[in-house]
Amino acid sequence: MITGAGGQLGRALQEAFGDEDLVALSHKEWDVAHPAPESLARGSLDLVLHAAAWTDVDGAEADPQGATAVNVGGTANAAALSDLLGAPLVAFSTDYVFDGRKREPYVESEAPNPLSAYGRSKLLGEAAAGEDAWIVRSSWLFGPTGHNFVRTMLRLGAERDEVAVVDDQRGCPTFVGHLASAVRDLVDADLPRGLWHLVAAGECTWADFAEAIFEDSGLECRVRRISTEELGRPAHRPAYAVLRSERPNAPLLPDWRDGLRACLAEIRAGDDAAT
């Protein structure tokens, strides 16, 4: 079963687990801030892939309780269903649980210290998932659907000659298709439960990422490199958010540039199909 099936990761998980008998539930079908519907609780499941989340990082500063209800309460409800039905849980978390003060990749055993209401809600969500869950931390997700940086840059790059993009935050832009395949590997190999850092290989800043998007999509748009302070968003974000896994046999994801190419190819294929 997949929660948040309409989100970008939810959709990619549907593809990666597409050969299985899937129950894919959108926000409308199960608002995870409430306990699981009776029909689900009385059924049987093999695996709970919990991709539903409050992902509006700046919005969480204005409504931390709303973010907590979904990211902590929702994960507790997914964990309760998983316990009830004896179906292991995969919960998703984020690089934003770290403060980003280091200049070397963060591994699973490092102490988190979130800077934002979103990061705090995701960290509490990890605890709510319980010790028996696979807790997958990833970062800077993008895919062919939904709200993400690639789709925003493609839109802005087609409208403008120049965009201002932050150049003092580093991370690992991760294609949801690659993350979903890695999650499939984690589950199929029945690797030990607990925390796993699964992100694309390589690292870059948002400005580097924007330039790569314009280059690979043939858009003539310049990137003006600005600081986080200049952008002035409500939520604090880690300056250095590169994750790596220290765990044996961790599934390895392709480089973020390969993820970008795969994502752009899917977007083009979708555009061709629509015309």
Looking at 14-22, 31-39, 103-111, 213-221, which segment touches ligand NAP (CB under 6 A)?
Answer: 31-39
Q: Is 96 a catalytic residue?
A: no
Does the protein bind ligand NAP through residue 33 (CB under 6 A)?
A: yes
Does the protein bind ligand NAP through residue 182 (CB under 6 A)?
A: no
Draw the binding track, 193-232, toward ligand NAP (x: CB under 6 A; -: no contact): ----------------------------------------
Which is closer to ligand NAP, CB of 11 or CB of 221?
11
Which is closer to ligand NAP, CB of 40 or CB of 53?
53
The nearest distance, CB 231 to ligand NAP, in angstroms, is: 16
Coil/strand/helix, residue 31: coil
Which residues are paired to 175 by β-bridges? 142
Give the binding-site size for ligand NAP (rule: CB under 6 A): 27
Draw the binding track, 128-157, toward ligand NAP (x: CB under 6 A; -: no contact): ----------xxxx----x-----------
Question: If we measure between CA atoms, which residue out of 199, 212, 135, 213 comes closest to residue 171?
Answer: 199
Kindly state the helix (H) or strand (E) to which residue 199 belongs, with its residue range.
Answer: none
Which is closer to ligand NAP, CB of 105 or CB of 272?
105
Coil/strand/helix, residue 191: coil
CA 35, chain centre distance (Å): 23
Candidate list 96, 106, 118, 240, residue with the active-site label = 118
Indicate if the alpha-carbon torsion angle 163, 164, 168, 169 is positive or negative.
negative
Backbone angles phi, psi at 270, to 5 degrees: -65, -40
Q: Site residues for ligand NAP, window 52-81 (CB under 6 A)?
A: 52-55, 70, 74
The nearest distance, CB 101 to ligand NAP, in angstroms, is: 19
Which is closer to ligand NAP, CB of 40 or CB of 52?
52
Question: If we measure between CA atoms, which residue out of 184, 168, 167 comes closest to residue 176?
Answer: 184
Residue nearest to ligand NAP (CB): 7
The nearest distance, CB 161 to ligand NAP, in angstroms, is: 27
Does the protein bind ligand NAP through residue 51 (CB under 6 A)?
A: yes
- Neighbouring residues of 179: CB distance < 8 A, sequence distance ≥ 6: 9, 12, 136, 138, 141, 198, 199, 253
Q: Which residues of 35-57 are buried (b: 16+ CB within 10 A; e: fewer)?
A: ebeeebeeeebebbbbbbbbbeb
The nearest distance, CB 233 to ligand NAP, in angstroms, is: 14
The nearest distance, CB 139 to ligand NAP, in angstroms, is: 5
Cα separation, 122 vs 235, whole angstroms: 14
- Neighbouring residues of 59: CB distance < 8 A, sequence distance ≥ 6: 66, 67
Q: Which residues of 180-202 are buried (b: 16+ CB within 10 A; e: fewer)?
A: bbbbbbbbeeebebebbbbbbbb
* Contacts to ligand NAP by CB under 6 A: 3-4, 6-10, 27, 30-33, 51-55, 70, 74, 92, 94, 122, 138-141, 146
- By annotation, the residues acting in catalysis are 118
